[in-house]
Structure 1
């Protein structure tokens, strides 16, 4: 049986073929320049909160998951032992000051007698040594008082930045040890997304390119951001158990590279939370620092 193709049919099918090829090309080009991943998570700066002195908790001024402002009082440690230390150091400083005055008067008298030959040079040296010692003891007392005042000040623990208090379990009467982490403050002024892209997706990704971000918790809201940096090493490089490639059973695995994306349009109606999952799409066709 013979097939008959009219010129019109050839043109139609040829046009369809060209259209399919062009469509496939544009689709591939689009995804090549608009890499997307669901392996992405919101991040924020966190601060471990610790007391700088040891003692029992006297008062608690915040609760878990509370928003606090910078320098807001979080809790206090019983200040009585530290106030006693300040009082004692103040008294010691007064005594050392009096001892210095006495040493100065004695040295002045002895050195004057040495000049006129009524005291030996050894007596003059001893008087000068006592004066130097009194001066050193006064400076030590001043340092002790300054440290006591600083310790007393440290009985008030304040927020270093604006943020959300998390893992807060302190109660009055709990004993805290200096420099031991007590809870965490999640800062609220800077958020970013760490997105893990396959190595086959980042050929055209550069800092400054625009990004669309959709969080799983707010699927109908779009956040916007910019690429801040592309990691120079894959996640496997920092793994505790890096892949072993020396064996004969090696299988090639596509690596993922973290891309840091700064979120630009945070909205109080859609509060960002560290650890939230996200879907990000980078417009790798955009110019660096583009706003679109």
Structure 2
């Protein structure tokens, strides 16, 4: 009888404890459910979000062999720091050759100017010769006219008239020759001036070639375009590279960091640019970061994919789409420094 009473008391105790535990659990579930419903009513939340930064490739503009590498993996660099040096021997020779060609073209300018001056003096001489030939022609013409009159009255012989006629023809020929020589000298001046225009154009072309070769020499030294942090190093000294080849990646520190949160299409109706956001990174669960909405994507993420879905094919299953929302981190640089591009985060935005 005492044993039965003992079991009865034990069962009552177990039942009472079970009831209390069930009640506590029920109260906890009610509180958790209430908080969840409250948060669901006041906030929009997603864990489909990642930290983003500008990660840009460092690209070579010229081909050649790597002579020196001046950075290490994950190294902080400042704008203008030398990262890679490419062997510039060939480009230096090309630059020297272009500079020599430019010097040669410029040296022809005084030569051409001298030719113009010489042709100008020659034309002046030819012009003087025209005046002398014209005076001689006038004299021979007058002499011929006198002998013609004498011949007509039979006071001069035919031979004398023929001699005077021959002298007149020679004077005419000399006069025409002087005129032709003068025109030729003027043409030489015109040609020389035309050659000067061609030479000036050639000088400009040579200057452009020198400038291009100078750029090629400058391109053999690759520097950091901004303050940042280098990524993985995949090149070695002595390696042959091509123009346009990606040599490294650099993370831009000056551009800041942001979060791309992919909210469901049913969530974005409450969001607008400027709304505040709270961000929690999976890597730092005890730390909360602040931000605000910068922009909402003009289309769903699937619409920007390489092969967007085509629902008109008939194989249609309605799936809730997601809208990328860009959130700028507003905390100071030191606070967001631990965050890295690609880290998973959770984003909470209060409904308004």
TM range, normalised to the smaller chain?
0.7 to 0.9
**Structure 1 alignment gaps of length 5 or more:** 1-19, 286-292
- Structure-2 residue corresponding to 1:15: none
- Structure-2 residue corresponding to 1:164: 229
Q: List aligned pairs for 1:43-122, cutoff 5 A.
A: 43-114=52-123, 117=127, 118=182, 120=184, 121-122=186-187
- Structure-2 residue corresponding to 1:220: 286
Q: List aligned pairs for 1:240-259, cutoff 5 A.
A: 240-246=306-312, 250-259=316-325
- Structure-2 residue corresponding to 1:123: 188
Q: TM-score, normalised by structure 2?
A: 0.69
- Quick one: structure 1 residues 114 and 267, their matched pair in 2 at CA, closer, same or farther if it must change by over 3 Å? same
Matched position secondary structure for 2:233: coil
- Structure-2 residue corresponding to 1:290: none
Q: List aligned pairs for 1:265-276, cutoff 5 A.
A: 265-268=331-334, 270-276=337-343
- Structure-2 residue corresponding to 1:261: 327
Distance 2:204 2:313 in 1: 67
Matched position secondary structure for 2:71: coil
- Structure-1 residue corresponding to 2:217: 152
- Structure-2 residue corresponding to 1:177: 242
Q: Is the 8 A contact 1:110 1:119 kept in 2?
A: no
- Structure-2 residue corresponding to 1:191: 257
Q: CA deviation at 1:27?
A: 5.9
Matched position secondary structure for 1:35: strand
Q: CA deviation at 1:244?
A: 3.6
Distance 1:193 1:109 in 2: 77
Residues 237-264 of structure 1: per-residue CA shift (max 9 Å, x gap): 1233333433555332111101000011
- Structure-2 residue corresponding to 1:236: 302
Q: TM-score, normalised by structure 1?
A: 0.82
Q: Is the 8 A contact 1:223 1:266 kept in 2?
A: no
Distance 1:32 1:126 in 2: 89
Q: Is the 8 A contact 1:223 1:263 kept in 2?
A: yes
Structure in which a larger fraction of residues adopt strand: 1
Which protein has the larger Cα radius of gyration, Structure 1 or Structure 2?
2
Matched position secondary structure for 2:213: helix
Q: List aligned pairs for 1:199-218, cutoff 5 A.
A: 199-218=265-284
Matched position secondary structure for 2:117: helix
Q: Which sits farther off after the overlay, 179-188 or 240-249?
A: 240-249
Structure in which a larger fraction of residues adopt helix: 2
Q: CA deviation at 1:273?
A: 0.9
**Structure 2 alignment gaps of length 5 or more:** 1-29, 128-181
Number of residue-to-residue matches in the alignment: 263
Distance 1:181 1:130 in 2: 46
